[in-house]
Amino acid sequence: MILTIACAPYDRVRALFDGRVTLPGIRLVPVPIHSELSFPRAFSRAEFDVTELSLSSQLIQVSRGEAAYDAIPAFVSRAFRHGCIYLRADAGIGDAKGLEGRRVGIPEYQMTLGLWLRGILADDHGVDVNGISWRTAGTNQAGRRERLPLELPPGMDVRPLPEGATLNAALLAGEIDAILSPTEPLAFAEGDPRVVRLFPDPRAAAIAWHRRTGFHPIMHVIGLRKDIAARHPGLAGQLHAAFDQARRLGLADMEADLRHSSLSLMLPFLAEEWAATKALLGADPWTYGIAANRAELEAIARWSHAQHLSRHRLSVEEMFHPETADS
């Protein structure tokens, strides 16, 4: 059997791409592609056999009975997001609570970054996130639209900016007061003093939040096309084991690299950063599987429903292929 596998070329999947990790009787055809390109192709036409998926989009489709993929709890993308909230410096927003009732831009309302940050704002800062006026557009490039149709209740204000608009330009023009984005607005990247972060020290804010919650935000999962999973019982479990083996080899590669006299990456303090990461997250800092991440997954399911994305509050077991339930 031949399986296409579309995923960004992360260190934690490299061993699957270079052939060190194999599945008996299966030839994997790697498609090294970043999520900005793979997500639309996966969600619109299920183009790939195995693919990286937006967690938020997947939960929406599962709740609607529309998912073309079964998710596998291999969390290939995780990211702390406290540094992704940008403000217009003169907007008069002194803290997170000050976002209430404001116009806030985001590339897509349903995106996983938004799901996480709204959850953090609601749980940690008491923000009524459903009362914010949300405006959608590309951060620095016009043309981005919601990947999936929204099903929002009356009274929620979520709408796109006019054709040709960007969040960066709208912020500078005073049309919105803040931006939630995984990409730095161009003005901020260029050092424009008119744009600042909500959390001036996002690393310290994220570390403090992690110590309170234990969460390391899950952004993307791996999906196996449902029709293939149905025809090949056991394949979902095999894939999960293969992704976990690749992750472990990625960790071993990192440790081996740090023992060399010359580093392979242009990061002079890589060893110190790796030691700090393990001190914060533990010796195995990038965990896969349901058991080790259940509390985090339950929070995500709660937020998705509270933010009117998933139609009902999903159980953790509903999120993933049953062969991975005991992972």
Nearest to 254 by CA among 268, 276, 270: 270
Q: Which two tokens stand for residue 243?
A: 């992704």
Q: Which two tokens stand for residue 62?
A: 């599962």
How far apart (Å, rounded) are the C-alpha atoms in residues 47 and 16? 19
For the chain, how are helix, strand and coil distributed in percent, rounded to 5?
Answer: 40, 20, 40
How far apart (Å, rounded) are the C-alpha atoms in residues 96 and 199? 9
CATH fold, domain 2-79+217-324, is D-Maltodextrin-Binding Protein; domain 2 (3.40.190)
How far apart (Å, rounded) are the C-alpha atoms in residues 147 and 233? 30
Domain range 82-213, its CATH number among 3.30.450.20, 3.40.190.10, 3.20.20.140, 3.90.180.10: 3.40.190.10
Q: What is the pLDDT of residue 178?
A: 98
Q: Which two tokens stand for residue 46?
A: 């299920």
Mean of all residue pLDDT scores within the chain:
97
Q: Which two tokens stand for residue 55?
A: 């967690």
How far apart (Å, rounded) are the C-alpha atoms in residues 178 and 94? 12
Provide CATH 3.40.190.10 ranges for the chain. Answer: 2-79+217-324, 82-213
How far apart (Å, rounded) are the C-alpha atoms in residues 112 and 300? 9
Q: What one-character-per-residue DSSP string does 4-23 give?
A: EEEE---TTTHHHHTTSS-B
How far apart (Å, rounded) are the C-alpha atoms in residues 182 and 47? 25
Q: Which amino acid is at 133?
A: S
How far apart (Å, rounded) are the C-alpha atoms in residues 71 and 48? 13
Across the chain, which has 327 residues, the per-10-residue mean pLDDT values are 97 97 96 94 94 98 98 98 98 97 98 98 98 98 95 96 98 98 98 98 98 98 98 98 98 93 91 96 96 97 98 98 86
Q: What is the pLDDT of residue 226?
A: 98
Sign of the Cα pseudo-torsion (222, 321, 309, 305, in order): negative
Cα–chain center distance at 6: 16
Q: What is the pLDDT of residue 128?
A: 98
Q: What is the pLDDT of residue 223?
A: 98
How far apart (Å, rounded) are the C-alpha atoms in residues 140 and 138? 6
Q: Contact, 113 vs 182, CB < 8 A?
A: yes
Q: What is the pLDDT of residue 327?
A: 58
Tell me the whole-structure pTM to 2 decimals.
0.96
